[in-house]
């Protein structure tokens, strides 16, 4: 059984990082060393490396965007995502330098799915008239998550579903289509609060320490820990649009689901602990000491945003 992963990237550190692409076996694989990136310019400099690194950071369907709170189209009930992501077991915590990564076996009881329209992952959000007869519900498998001071991302990939054709963008073995579920975080209003997020508390407890270099070998197993991934989602109401990965290679065709309800909170101490763990790491002898890793908002470029009630 292959491993999935939950990636904790606190909108803070990461002076250095490796561009990542998605594979069917592991989820993430690093690109050549020449394609290191950082967040010093909040991602503004990434498009200039598109050609040499095979990125798409200068594309017209990039993420994140400022989600408009009004004027969105309503997503019909039959097109809503199924949010039953299952139970994650056999969990390990890694410090990979630009992120804290949580890996687990393929979730038990995963029933999550998303809907696409026609033959393309883009069409649902661009069709002027959507008919249920042209819609396809396809299963998704959790790959990783990204937690920031403001948002947590559960990244899933579309997988082959009996009797359902795959979108043309991911119809072959060497291509992967992604669906991301973003949950908002916030800080506790009381800076002296000691009770914070339970997930982050466990990650910090088992975070590997004293590794000479961040990466795959900087890992610790967590005994008897299970994560009900569905419990990370605050509600069934979300905004959805087609965008991209928010770090290089900025691959487009990602189905974004952003939940406006703020359910999860961090204490100031948790935030500082995560900042410290990541910003003091080393990646290939480069010290990670920048405390910002958020990409600036990208143009919407006429893309439709739907609201699921």
Whose CA is closest to 220, among 97, 98, 91? 91
pLDDT band, residue 107 (cuts 50/70/90): very high
Whose CA is closest to 152, among 162, 165, 163, 142? 142
Rounded Cα–Cα distance for residues 215 and 281 (Å): 10
- Whether the predicted pLDDT of 308 surpasses 70: yes
- Number of Cβ within 10 Å of residue 178's Cβ equals 23
Whichever domain contains 245, its CATH number is 3.10.200.10
Helices (H), the chain: 50-53, 198-205, 268-279
Q: What per-residue confidence (pLDDT) applies to 275?
A: 78
Q: Which of the two residues, 204 and 17, has the higher pLDDT score? A: 204
Q: What is the mean pLDDT of the chain?
A: 81
Rounded Cα–Cα distance for residues 302 and 68 (Å): 12
Taking every pair of C-alpha atoms in the chain, what is the biggest distance, in angstroms?
57
The HSE-up count of residue 238 (CA atoms within 13 Å, CB side) is: 23
Residue 184 has φ and ψ, to the nearest 5°, of -75, 140
Reply yes or no: is the peptide bond before residue 152 cis, omega within 30 of 0. Answer: no
Identify whether the C-beta of residue 40 lies closer than 8 Å to the C-beta of residue 13.
Answer: no
pLDDT band, residue 220 (cuts 50/70/90): very high
- Number of Cβ within 10 Å of residue 236's Cβ equals 14
Task: Give me 3's structure tokens.
Answer: 């491993």
Residue 262 lies in domain: 3-308
Q: What is the dihedral of CA 258, 67, 261, 10, to 10 degrees?
A: 70
Helices (H) and strands (E) in the chain, counts: 3, 20
- Whether the predicted pLDDT of 31 surpasses 50: no
Rounded Cα–Cα distance for residues 58 and 128 (Å): 27
Q: What per-residue confidence (pLDDT) applies to 127?
A: 61
Q: How many domains does the chain have?
A: 1
Task: Give me 155's structure tokens.
Answer: 């990244």
Rounded Cα–Cα distance for residues 305 and 75 (Å): 9
Identify whether the C-beta of residue 108 lies closer than 8 Å to the C-beta of residue 16.
Answer: no
Whose CA is closest to 308, among 110, 158, 155, 83? 83
Rounded Cα–Cα distance for residues 84 and 92 (Å): 22
- Whether the predicted pLDDT of 149 surpasses 70: no
Q: What per-residue confidence (pLDDT) applies to 289?
A: 65
pLDDT mean over 256-283: 84
């Amino acid at each position: 059984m292959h491993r999935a992963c939950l990636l904790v990237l606190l909108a803070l550190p990461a002076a250095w990082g490796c561009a990542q692409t998605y594979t069917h076996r592991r989820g993430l694989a690093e690109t050549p060393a020449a394609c290191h990136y950082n967040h010093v310019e909040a991602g503004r400099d990434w498009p200039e490396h598109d050609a040499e690194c095979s990125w798409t950071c200068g594309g017209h369907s990039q993420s994140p965007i400022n989600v408009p709170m009004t004027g969105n189209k309503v997503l019909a009930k039959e097109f809503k995502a199924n949010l039953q992501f299952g139970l994650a077991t056999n969990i390990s915590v890694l410090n990979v330098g630009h992120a804290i990564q949580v890996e687990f076996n393929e979730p038990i009881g995963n029933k999550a799915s998303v809907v696409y329209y026609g033959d393309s992952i883009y069409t649902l959000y661009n069709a002027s008239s959507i008919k249920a007869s042209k819609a396809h519900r396809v299963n998704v498998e959790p790959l990783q998550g990204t937690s920031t001071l403001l948002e947590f991302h559960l990244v899933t990939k579309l997988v082959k579903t009996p009797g359902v054709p795959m979108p043309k963008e991911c119809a072959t073995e060497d291509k992967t289509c992604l669906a991301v579920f973003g949950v908002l975080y916030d800080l506790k209003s009381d800076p002296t609060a000691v009770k914070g997020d339970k997930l982050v508390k466990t990650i910090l407890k088992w975070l590997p320490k004293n590794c000479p270099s961040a990466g795959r070998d900087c890992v610790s197993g967590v005994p008897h820990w299970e994560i009900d991934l569905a419990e990370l989602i605050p509600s069934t109401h979300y905004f959805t649009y087609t965008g991209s990965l928010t770090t290089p290679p900025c691959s487009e065709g990602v189905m974004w689901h952003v939940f406006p309800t703020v359910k999860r909170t961090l204490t100031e101490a948790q935030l500082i602990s995560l900042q410290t763990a990541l910003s003091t790491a080393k990646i290939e002898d480069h010290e990670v000491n920048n405390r910002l890793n958020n990409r600036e908002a990208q143009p919407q470029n006429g893309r439709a945003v739907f609201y699921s009630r």
